[in-house]
Structure 1
Amino acid sequence: DGRGNAYVNGGGFNLMAGEKFAPGIVALVTPDGSARQVADGIAFPNGMAVTPDNATLIVAESYGKRLTAFDIAADGSLSNRRVWADLGDGVPDGICLDAEGAVWYADVPNKRCVRVRAGGDVLQTIDLDLGCFACTLGGVDGKTLFMVVREWRGLESTADAARTGEVRTLRAPAADAGWP
């Protein structure tokens, strides 16, 4: 975030080893290197982004099919957990914020990248032929959407998709904002 903190996730279980689902956590790492848990009960925490004013953390809950928001205190603590956007059948992975306050989320199983606003209204959907794992805005003017994509046929076929990854780009309607 803008204070030098980093929010990191702990999935709660080893998805690739086939372990049974268990809720995950969010931890805070401060500039002095100390770390502490600041949220729990997250349904497979994935991408996270902090708003430009350092006031809100948005977390992609892949197994919850939602984006969850928390208020951020001056010491980095989180409170006021709430659903920022219910994504219906969307499975959010990596996320990024734009200057209009929208969130882009990568959606692996649905092979798309989606732009939503608070409340869940879909503003734009980019359908892809590969699973989208991560997205970020950047480039000279911050309006290039970078999407990390790779063949996807389900978890059981993950090893079969070796060397199919690509970074694709597209012009976005709004520039980047916030902190990854």
Structure 2
Amino acid sequence: MLQPHCVWDARAELGEGPVWSVREQALYFVDIVGQAIHRFHPESGQHASWSAPQRPGFVVPVSDGTLICGLKDGLYGFDPASGRFDCMVAVERELPGNRINDGCVDSKGRLWFGTMDDGEATPSGALYSVTRSKGRTLDVLRHDEGYVVTNGPAVSPDGTKLYHNHSPAGIIYVFDLAPDGALSNRRVFARVTDGYPDGVVVDSAGTLWVGAWNGGRVMRFAPDGTELPPIALPAVNVTKVAFGGPDLRTLYVTTARKNTPPDVLARYPQAGGLFSLRVDVPGQEPVAFPVDEMDALGDIALD
């Protein structure tokens, strides 16, 4: 069995959203409850952290070296050099109980993200994309709704499938994804009964890697939905993975201490840490959000 080891005992309350920066050869992730953004540079072993003004759901690299961060109430530009956050677009301002959760950039440079009820009770969450329509104009599109807690999204290597979780229901959905970004034919890809499906990433062979909240493992599913042997982690709440390193064969795994009783933390003292292990199949080549699209984000608003 693959053996993960802790590369940073970050003790994150809710470590989430790992993403590899090709430009920096470093891994970023967030602590949602701790309101922090973290960066780990594996070659040097150095790490850095920044406080966020609100709960961060995700960060994704931008091609100019900055980041887009999904905070509670919108998309923000974040500059690690200065630590500055700039609001670019408000999201669901009419739903103050909601927040942005997980996100990703697909191979065409589209940003996908989900929203959720911060109280994890009401099905007020939705799935969105941010795309360019003509020139510098961007569209923020709502594709699906009715989620209590959203996780994912993630896209298949051929760009024809998008996976997205309704975590409390234990459901991993798959959509057909058209070249223009339209989603259709939502259907159940897999159901999880031991724990809850958290963040999703798809490797270069099309295998889904899914964090198991309250499940102590990373789940794996073949493209046809067959469940593959999992990878155990020394934490109850396993949230999401990312592929990094020069060959994209180093798997990084975020975990959380949230909702873990003291006696269980005594058995898993590195819960909330960042773990890594080597894998045979690389991840997909990470794509940074194009800078010209980021510049136009300030012109976009959601009604």
Normalised to the residue count of structure 2, the TM-score between the two structures is 0.51
In the other structure, the counterpart of 1:142 is 248
SS at match of 1:63: helix
Name which structure has the greater RCO, CA cutoff 8 Å, separation 6+: 2
Deviations 1:109-165 (A, max 9, x none): 11211111245422121222212122111212222110012324359xxxxxxx963
- Checking the alignment, whether the CA contact within 8 Å between 1:86 and 1:120 is kept in structure 2 is no
Q: Specify which of 36, 61, 85 is matched with residue 141 of structure 2.
A: 36
Instruction: Select which of 193, 197, 201 maps to 1:88.
Output: 193
Q: Which residue in the other structure is 1:114 paired with?
A: 219
CA distance in 1, matches of 2:221, 2:259: 25
Residues 1:132 and 2:266 aligned together: no
- Structure 1 residues 94 and 29: CA distance shift in structure 2, 3 A: same
Deviation of the 1:34 alpha carbon? 2.2
> Which AA in structure 2 matches 1:20?
A
Structure-2 residue corresponding to 1:171: 278
Deviates more, 1:91-100 or 1:112-121: 112-121
Q: How does 1:54-73 map to 2 (within 5 A)?
A: 54-73=159-178
Unpaired stretches in structure 2, ≥5 consecutive residues: 1-105, 262-269, 288-303
How many pairs align? Answer: 169
What one-letter code is carried by the residue in structure 2 that aligns with 1:138?
A: G
Q: Aligned-pair distance for 1:43? A: 5.0
Q: Within 2, Cα distance between the matches of 1:102 and 1:178?
A: 14
Q: Which amino acid aligns with 1:78?
A: L
Q: Secondary structure at the match of 1:34?
A: strand
Residues 36-45 or 89-98, more deviating: 36-45
What residue ranges of structure 1 are gaps of 5+ in the alignment? 156-162
**Which position in structure 1 is the counterpart of 2:150?**
45
- What is the letter of the counterpart of residue 5 of structure 1? R
TM-score (norm 1): 0.81
Taking the aligned partners of 1:80 and 1:179, their CA distance within structure 2 comes to 26
Q: CA deviation at 1:103?
A: 0.4
Paired with 1:42 and 1:173, the residues of 2 have a C-alpha distance of 34
Stretches of 4+ aligned residues off by more than 6 angstroms: none
| Residue pair 2:149, 2:168 contacting (<8 A) in 1 also | yes
- Measured after TM superposition, the shift of residue 42 of structure 1 is 3.5
Q: Percent identity?
A: 29
Residues 118 and 148 of structure 1: is their aligned pair in 2 closer, same or farther, counting only changes over 3 Å? same
Contact 2:174 2:187 in 1 (8 A): yes
Q: Deviations over 1:27-64 (max 9, x none)?
A: 11113432020112345211211112221111122112
> Which protein shows a greater Rg?
2
Q: Taking structure 1 as reference, are residues 75 and 47 closer, same or farther at Cα in structure 2, changes over 3 Å only?
A: same
User: Cα gap change, 1:170/1:75 in structure 2, threshold over 3 Å: closer, same or farther?
Assistant: same
Q: Is the 8 A contact 1:7 1:27 kept in 2?
A: yes
Residue 14 of structure 1 corresponds to 118
Query: C-alpha root-mean-square deviation of aligned residues, in Å?
Result: 2.4
CA change 1:97–1:127 in 2 (3 A) is same
Pair 1:97-2:185 in alignment: no
Residue matched to 1:160:
none
